[in-house]
Structure 1
Amino acid sequence: MSEIKPVFLPERRRFALDDDGKLIDEAHYRDFEGSDGVERIFFHTTVDEEYGGQGLASVMVKYALENTIASGAKIVAVCPYVKAYVAKHSDYDAHLVEPTKAHLGILPRD
């Protein structure tokens, strides 16, 4: 059995889980230049159905949030999954920024 590991793909503006070269979950983001620095907007999370129900999305989201905080950026949770995750983990509260129209305005429309 291969090891599934979280990866950061800044050139694609996403975090993902890699299963031996196959990306199985992805958390899409855009960086926004806020008044106090970068605010990373998480707006869409996808999970490969074949891997559903194993808690892997939470592994990826935790990795993405920890990486974001370590980089000095704030978290803007727009994606319903990320919003639910941070709502359950109050240790992220100090790193959250409420989404604004300016945040939403830079997101892809597709």
Structure 2
Amino acid sequence: MNEELVPLQVEKNPATSRFELVVDGYTAFIDYKQEDDVIKLIHTEVPEELAGRGVAAALVEKTLNYLEENKNSLFPYCPYVFAYIKKHPDWKRIVNPNFPKYDEL
């Protein structure tokens, strides 16, 4: 992870249904839906101004850490999150086995 991103905290914002990471005044986010302890990550977006700095990967990693720490399981519907977990298969440990593409991770 880019050193400048390490100290930043991801925030769960229930008002917008987003996990948010503020970098240099810009907000990167992952849209989510929650049902009980299952979090469905839907869409990841990073402002153009932050492109090429590893913000999307940091946002996903910090969000996955948040989910694990809060004992949530995950449905990674967002293609970026799905690809991140596929590239880092140790994160499959928090993917809910009922996720339709679980066996593809």
Q: Which has the larger radius of gyration?
A: 1
**Contact in 2 for aligned 1:17/1:25 (Cα 8 Å):** yes
- State the distance in 1 between where 2:39 and 2:48 align: 26
- State the distance in 1 between where 2:72 and 2:19 align: 15
TM-score normalised according to structure 1 size:
0.74
RMSD of aligned Cα (Å):
1.9
- State the distance in 1 between where 2:39 and 2:59 align: 15
Match of 2:18 in 1: 14
- Which has more strand, going by share of residues? 1
Q: How many residues align?
A: 93
Match of 1:58 in 2: 57
Structure 1 ranges of 4+ moved more than 3 A: none
Q: What CA deviation, in whole Å up to 9, does each residue of 1:32-61 have, x standing for no partner?
A: 13xxxx110000111101111111110011
Aligned-pair identity in percent equals: 29
TM-score normalised according to structure 2 size:
0.78
